């Protein structure tokens, strides 16, 4: 009887592991108030490119709205990470303030 219970437990755990999600794709818009022109937009896009969990093909920048839309895998990265990537490039991102040192290095048109 103990062997049967052990086998059932092992099978249950195996089924749970197989059913776990591998990906959780989400799309988010992040407000970037200092994104004034194409040069700023390019820098924001570069800040998100080549980061784990982000598909660079899905990065959409709207200069009129001063937003960036990104599709990301929340199993690999989090919304706060996206905001910090942008902040580390020198731009405010949602509630996250810009990295001051990076902000100082931006061209005048992006300040």
On whether the CB atoms of residues 85 and 56 are closer than 8 A, the answer is no
Instruction: Give the tens place of pLDDT for each residue, 23-35.
Output: 889 999 999 999 9
CB count within 10 Å of CB 73 equals: 15
Instruction: Give the tens place of pLDDT for each residue, 56-100.
Output: 999 999 999 999 999 999 999 999 999 999 999 999 999 999 999
Q: How is the chain split into domains, by residue range?
A: 23-110
pLDDT of 18 strictly over 60 = no
Which class does domain 23-110 fall in? Answer: alpha beta
């Amino acid at each position: 009887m103990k062997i049967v219970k052990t086998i059932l437990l092992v099978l249950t755990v195996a089924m749970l592991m197989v059913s776990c999600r591998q990906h959780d794709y989400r799309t988010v818009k992040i407000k970037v108030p200092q994104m004034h022109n194409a040069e700023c937009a390019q820098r924001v896009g570069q800040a998100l490119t080549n980061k784990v969990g982000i598909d660079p093909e899905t990065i959409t920048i709207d200069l009129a709205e001063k937003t960036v839309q990104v599709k990301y895998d929340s199993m690999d990265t989090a919304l706060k990470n996206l905001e910090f990537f942008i902040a580390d490039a020198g731009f405010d991102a949602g509630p996250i303030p810009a990295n001051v040192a990076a902000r100082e290095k931006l061209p005048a048109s992006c300040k």
